[in-house]
Amino acid sequence: MNLGTTILKCRHSVRKYKPDPIEEIILKDILECARLAPTAMNEQPWLFGVITGRETLERVAGLIDHGKFIADAAACFAVFGKKNAKYYLEDCCAATENIIIALQAYGIGSCWVPGEKKDYAESVRTALDVPEEYTLVSLVPAGYPLDIPIQKKKPLKDIHFCEKYTKE
């Protein structure tokens, strides 16, 4: 048994949340975990937003195609990458996963909602008054779970190899 890997293995995407707010001290700690993610050349080319105001949550939710549940989240993290940094996408994805796992460690559910490849990225950026040099990479709505759906995963034997790949 290992606490870190157990937390990781217990994570599932959660899209239905209790109305309870997330304590300020937890939100701060989650941002700390985002800030400490690895980045190429330690560039840290990012900006993290945390939204808890219902009006803003609803406004952002209204812009998203497959993330309307943002409107009911206790909070939503927004990860923006600095476009001129070569590896901003990888860096911001590392931070996004840190946010999700850190939330899980507090028993808070969340779901990865993409930004970078989506038409709504620009409208979310402007809705949050984020400077033009940044682009939305992801949104992470979060809240204490009401429902935890468990998705089927591919078995390890089908998706890994040791040393060199061989067909069957």
Which residues make Cβ contacts (< 8 Å) with residue 105, sequence separation at least 6? 7
| Least gap, CB of 167 to ligand FMN (angstroms) | 27
Site for ligand FMN in 2-41 (CB under 6 A): 12-13, 15
The residue from 111, 121, 124, 137 that contacts ligand FMN (CB under 6 A) is 111
Which residues make Cβ contacts (< 8 Å) with residue 88, sequence separation at least 6? 45, 46, 81, 82, 135, 137
Q: Under the criterion CB under 6 A, does residue 81 sit at the interface with ligand FMN?
A: no
Q: Under the criterion CB under 6 A, does residue 45 sit at the interface with ligand FMN?
A: no
Phi-psi region of 129 (alpha: psi -120 to 50; beta: other; left: phi over 0): left
Q: How far apart are CA 134 and CA 34, in angstroms?
A: 17
Q: Under the criterion CB under 6 A, does residue 113 sit at the interface with ligand FMN?
A: yes
145 within 8 A of 16, measured Cβ to Cβ: yes
| Least gap, CB of 150 to ligand FMN (angstroms) | 7
Which residues make Cβ contacts (< 8 Å) with residue 154, sequence separation at least 6? none
CB closer to ligand FMN, 114 vs 143: 114
The residue from 114, 115, 141, 143 that contacts ligand FMN (CB under 6 A) is 114
- Contacting residues toward ligand FMN, per CB under 6 A: 12-13, 15, 66-67, 111-114, 151
